[in-house]
């Protein structure tokens, strides 16, 4: 399977429809986005892995940075991902694993990623994760998945990513790195759909005990007041970790429910999830305007539709899942990776 990834061409690559510009949130977070594109490139359905979105909660200062559980990747696709220990130059470890047919996910500095022009590339240092499919240390080139696409970098950007040459540091940062092992053959689409339904029920049972949007609303006014006294660029980081994480998460939840039940028995819960996504997007725009104008009256009420939609999603989804589970055969088909 890895040979397919290694042969990809950044110039001709076409992103998955989950990253279409017409979606409410065309990009989600770096980790989920790269797995969406990796699975797409392998001709596997990324929609199958999205049941875990039901577990997102408000964590007191942010919404959960949602990531697909590694055990879900294995049982749905046969892909086994785990931490890669870095004790020498990171690029040496990555090159070794690529030669063994493994995909490497590496935390890097977005300052050196040319796929982010006008956002962070040569503007701002920040942590992000890429999935590397091809690496030539001598030529200083790399192909990688990041956000909603597949890209290449070279030269000084390569040195910056791996802290080499002029970008070497006396105390180099050792990045968190994972590597993914692929099976000889993935589970069948039929087995994957059945397993996705089982996992959705598991994740539904792990949903937050309290409405996360109600919890968020209790401190929302104080957040806005604090933001109004700080530089406007702080707003972008705040919004990414609150409204964007929640909105993108629940748009993916809606997509998963649509994919899982093509004949429509989950249409109501899917629509509730989409309402959360649109509410968060609208509120993000409202918050930006309010900060620019220093007018905040009534802004907190904008969270009410999301809170009501979350209650509706969870109350309607339980009975619907019970009916679906009763009607479909139980299949478990995990395939171990080599």
User: In the chain, what's the furthest Cα-to-Cα distance?
Assistant: 62
- Please compute the mean of the pLDDT values over residues 231-250 and round it to a whole number: 92
325-335 confidence digits (pLDDT tens)? 887 655 444 44
Q: Is residue 205 over pLDDT 60?
A: yes
Joined tokens for residue 203:
């994740």
pLDDT at 337 over 70: no
**Residue 336's pLDDT is what?**
47
Helix (H) or strand (E) holding 111: none
Q: What is the pLDDT of residue 338?
A: 46
Per-domain residue ranges for the chain?
A: 2-43+80-181, 189-327
Strand-pair partners of 282? none
pLDDT of residue 296: 75
CA atoms of 307 and 213, how far apart (whole Å): 5
Amino acid 66: pLDDT: 95
C-alpha–C-alpha distance, residues 245 and 87, integer Å:
32
Question: pLDDT value at position 301?
Answer: 84
3-state secondary structure of 60: coil
**Which range among 272-276, 302-306, 311-315 shows the weakest confidence by mean pLDDT?**
302-306
Q: What is the pLDDT of residues 211-235, one digit of tens each?
A: 999 999 988 888 888 888 888 888 8
Would the pLDDT of 247 be above 60? yes
128 or 294, greater pLDDT = 128
The model's pLDDT over 35-45, given as tens digits with 9 standing for 90+, comes to: 999 999 999 99
Residues 6+ apart with CB under 8 A from 132: 94, 98, 103, 104, 105, 106, 142, 143, 144
Count the residues in the chain: 338
- ∠ Cα 334 336 338 (to 5°): 160
Q: In whole angstroms, what is the distance from residue 227 CA to residue 291 CA? A: 8
pLDDT number for residue 35: 97
pTM of the model: 0.92
Supply the DSSP string of 236-302, one letter for each residue.
HHHHIIIIIHHHHHHHHHHHHHHHH-TTSTTHHHHHHHHHHHHHHHHHHHHHHHHHHHT--TTGGGG
Q: What number is the average pLDDT over the span 244-258?
A: 97
pLDDT of residue 171: 65
CA distance 246 to 280: 7
pLDDT of residue 120: 85
Helices 304-327 and 245-260, interaxial angle, to 10°?
30
Mean pLDDT of the chain: 92
- Of the given ranges (38-47, 113-122, 146-155, 275-284), which has the lowest mean pLDDT? 113-122
- Of 332, 334, 338, 331, the C-alpha closest to 75 is 334
Closest-CA residue to 257 (of 24, 76, 51): 51
If you search the block for the tokens 């959705």, which residue do you land on?
Answer: 200
Give percent of the chain with pLDDT exceeding 90: 75
**159 or 325, greater pLDDT:** 159
């Amino acid at each position: 399977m890895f040979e397919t990834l290694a042969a990809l061409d950044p110039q001709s690559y076409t992103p998955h429809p989950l990253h279409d510009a017409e979606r409410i949130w065309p990009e989600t977070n770096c980790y989920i986005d790269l797995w969406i594109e990796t699975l797409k490139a392998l001709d596997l359905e990324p929609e199958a892995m999205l049941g875990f979105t039901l577990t997102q909660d408000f964590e007191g200062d942010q919404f959960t940075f949602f990531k697909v559980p590694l055990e879900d990747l294995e049982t749905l696709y046969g892909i086994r991902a785990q931490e890669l220990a870095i004790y020498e130059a990171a690029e040496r470890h990555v090159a070794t694993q690529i030669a063994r047919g493994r995909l490497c996910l590496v935390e890097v500095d977005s300052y050196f990623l040319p796929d982010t022009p006008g956002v962070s590339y040569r503007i701002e240092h920040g942590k992000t994760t890429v999935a590397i499919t091809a690496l030539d240390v001598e030529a200083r080139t790399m192909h990688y998945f990041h956000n909603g696409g597949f890209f290449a970098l070279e030269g000084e950007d390569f040195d910056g990513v791996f802290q080499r040459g002029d970008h070497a540091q006396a105390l180099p940062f050792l990045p968190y790195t994972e590597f993914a092992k692929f099976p000889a053959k993935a589970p069948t689409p039929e087995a994957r759909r059945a397993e996705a339904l089982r996992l959705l029920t598991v994740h539904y049972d792990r949903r937050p005990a309290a409405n996360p949007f109600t919890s968020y609303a209790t401190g929302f006014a104080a957040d806005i007041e604090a933001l109004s006294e700080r530089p406007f660029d702080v707003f972008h980081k705040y919004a990414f970790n609150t409204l964007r994480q929640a909105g993108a998460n629940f748009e993916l939840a809606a997509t998963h429910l649509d994919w899982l039940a093509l004949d429509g028995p989950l249409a109501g819960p899917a629509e509730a999830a989409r309402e959360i996504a649109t509410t968060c997007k609208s509120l993000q725009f409202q918050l930006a305007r309010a900060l620019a104008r220093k007018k905040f009256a009534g802004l907190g009420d904008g969270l009410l539709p999301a809170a009501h939609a979350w209650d509706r999603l969870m109350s309607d989804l339980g009975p619907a899942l019970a009916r679906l589970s009763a009607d479909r055969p139980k299949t478990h088909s995990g395939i171990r990776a080599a």
